[in-house]
Amino acid sequence: MRILLAPSSAMPLYEQIKDQVRAAVYGGGLNAGDMLPSLRRLAADLRVSIMTVTRAYNDLAAEGLVRNEQGRGFVVRPVDSDRAKKALEERLRAALRDFVGAARAARLTRSEAAGLLDTEWDTP
Amino acid sequence: MGYAVNEKTSATPLALRAEGLTVRAGDFLLDAVDVEVPTGYVVGMVGPNGAGKTTTIKAILGMVGRSSGFVELFGEPASRQAARNAQIGVVLDRPFFSPDWRVASVGTRVGRFYPTWDADRFAGLLREFRLPARTSVGALSRGQGMRLSFAVALCHDPRLLILDEPTGGLDPVARAELVEGLREFMVDENHSVLFSTHITSDLDGLADFIQVLDGGHSTYRGTLDDLHAQFALVQGVGDPGRDALRAVLGLRRARDRFEGMIRVADSHLFGRDAELSAATTDDIVVHLVRAGHDNEKGL
């Protein structure tokens, strides 16, 4: 799994980390039993403080997505399919909000925006 | 003000605990400063020049006499010369090697005092840090001297690094190298770092905890995350009212404008004309220090 951070984003860094781990777990990039990257290695690689990654991982554990195994690290738990579906829908809705916002800012009509969506949908 | 303790950090053993460090030096008084470095974390100590950062570090290392206070390292009372402890790597403002030693010879001269000295690693770091092996220590630039001290500090395999203004006077490339070196050091969960700086942006993305010193006092200790969650910048036009103005730290007014920093908890005191924005670490430290000075002046 690759995690990329946007330091200038309004979203806090630990939220960005959570988001990407969630996307990997629900999107199938990480499977049950897989290990998350070592917390301290990830902090060094992403150039964030250890506490930032600790906070993200602990939050993910509290959500039930991963569990902290003493001495081993954070392990991905089996995905609850209802929750995975909800999470994917929520991601899609967030992306749509961005899309609609950008379309409105560009003063597109609804059908023009839908046309863009169709084109994108058909692009392999 | 103590660390905002949560269960995680309160259970973490401390690499360093200093309590009530008090040092008198001429007119300067370091006044009962507490310092804690939890094992596995980075603590950044910031404050203006003359705040007492160097004195605090020297008091921890037993390099200046303290009139009261005590220091514990790894859970045990520190000896008077903690700086000689092989488990601590120290980088001070100036290299403490003789100016006429050649760079390459520093390893053999210093290494013999440490049972854990890694001569191969030292040779490797000299290359990595592009240090001229045959030049004498006295002829090194400020950045080279700091890198040499850093290499020496790393090569006896310490558990705790203590650095005083390690980035002061460094160019951006050297500064980035140093920060990368600290990050690599911190990949080991048994390692801890205490460093001082007057450049607060050095803390971002590196320090877990921040301690602010000003005028010989410790004015804030906590996690960097909590610091950011607690404060916001405020600015506006007109008179927001007495209670609101009193809540502003480091208040500055120009004609009908006001600006400063507030605790997020006080944001309800401000109307819709006041604009709140996120504060950088630098903003927060500047306003905390400014607020302290305003208090002293009775503003």
Full DSSP string of A71-105: TTEEEEPPPPHHHHHHHHHHHHHHHHHHHHHHHHH
Phi, psi of B21 (to 5 degrees): -60, 120
- Cβ B225–A51 below 8 Å, yes or no? yes
Which residue, among A48, A50, A72, A74, would best test binding to B if mutated, counting the most B CBs under 10 Å from its CB? A50
Please give the average per-residue pLDDT across A42-70, as a whole number.
Answer: 93
Pairing of strands B257-263, B88-91: unpaired
In terms of Cα–Cα distance, which of B204, B162, B167 is closest to B185? B162
Inter-residue contact B23 to B9 (CB < 8 Å): no
Provide, for chain B, the percentages of residues in helix, strand and coil under a 3-state DSSP scheme, each rounded to the nearest 5: 35, 30, 35
Partners of residue B15 in chain A, C-beta under 8 Å: none
Contact B32, B69 (CB under 8 A): yes
Q: Which residue type, as a one-letter code, is found at position A93?
A: R
Over range B140-161, report the average pLDDT: 92
Chain B residues closer than 8 Å to A56 by CB: none
The shortest C-alpha distance from A54 to chain B (Å) reads 10
Cα(A73)–Cα(A70) distance, integer angstroms = 6
Burial class (CB in 10 A: 0-12, 13-18, 19+), B195: buried
Compute the count of residue pairs across chains A and B with CB atoms less than 8 Å apart: 39
The average confidence (pLDDT) of chain A is 89
Q: Pick from B223, B224, B225 the residue to mutate for testing the A interface (most A CBs within 10 Å).
A: B225
Subunit contact B205:A58, Cβ cutoff 8 A: no
Please, are residues B194 and B34 in contact by the beta-carbon 8 Å criterion? Answer: no
Task: Identify the pLDDT of residue B140.
Answer: 92
Mean of the per-residue pLDDT values for chain B?
A: 89
Q: Which residues in chain B are contacts of A40 at CB distance < 8 A? A: 186-189
Q: Is the pLDDT of residue B293 over 90?
A: no
Note the pLDDT tens digit of each residue in B88-111: 999 997 778 899 999 999 999 998
Q: Are strands B28-38 and B76-77 parallel, antiparallel or unpaired?
A: unpaired
**Inter-chain residue contact B205 with A49, CB threshold 8 Å:** yes
Average pLDDT over residues B71-90: 84
Q: Which residue has the higher pLDDT, A85 or B221?
A: B221
**Between A7, A49, A55, which is nearest B206 by CB?**
A49
Which chain A positions have a beta carbon within 8 Å of B183's beta carbon? 43-44, 47
Q: 3-state DSSP call for residue B6?
A: coil
Q: Which two tokens stand for residue B26?
A: 């001429």
Q: How far off is chain A from B81, nearest CA to CA, in Å?
A: 30
CA distance A47 to chain B (A): 6
Q: Cβ A47–B42 below 8 Å, yes or no?
A: no
Chain B residues within an 8 Å CB radius of A55: 225
Q: Please give, rounded to a whole number of angstroms, the shortest distance from the CA of A2 to a CA of chain B.
A: 18
CA-nearest residue of chain B to A50? Answer: B208
Question: Please, which residues 5-24 of chain A have a Cβ atom closer than 8 Å to chain B?
Answer: 7, 13
What is the token pair recorded at A32? 């049950």
| Cα–Cα distances in angstroms (integers) from residue B58 to residues A1, B30, B61, in the given order | 44, 11, 5
| B1 SS3 class | coil
Of the pLDDT bands very low, low, confident and very high (cuts 50, 70, 90), residue B272 is confident
Fill in the amino acid letter for B21: L
Closest CA to B240 of B287, B274, B277, B275: B274
**Residue A27 banded pLDDT, cuts 50, 70, 90:** confident
Residues on chain B touching A47 (C-beta within 8 angstroms): 183, 205-206
Q: Give ipTM to 2 decimals.
A: 0.79
Per-residue confidence (pLDDT) for residue A80, from 0 to 100: 80
Which of B178, B208, B228, B280 has the highest number of chain A CBs within 10 A, making it the mutation to test binding with A?
A: B208
**Is A94 part of the contact surface with chain B (CB cutoff 8 Å)?**
no
Q: Inter-chain contact B208–A50, Cβ cutoff 8 Å?
A: yes
Which DSSP category does B102 fall into? Answer: B
Residue B83 has pLDDT above 80, yes or no: no
Q: Which of B233, B224, B217, B237 has the alpha carbon at shortest distance from B289? A: B217
Q: Give the model's pLDDT for residue B70.
A: 92
Nearest to B187 among A41, A47, A58 (CB): A41
- Tokens 């503003």 belong to B299
Which pLDDT score, from 0 to 100, does residue B4 have?
42
Q: Given CB atoms, is A93 within the 8 Å cutoff of chain B?
A: no
- The yes-or-no verdict on residue B192 having pLDDT over 60 is yes
Q: Is A49 on the interface with B (CB under 8 A)?
A: yes
Q: Does the pLDDT value for residue B299 go beyond 60?
A: no
**More reliable by pLDDT, B81 or B182:** B182
Q: Closest Cα of chain B to A35: distance in Å?
A: 17
Q: Residue A6: what pLDDT? A: 81
The DSSP 8-state label assigned to residue A12 in this structure reads -
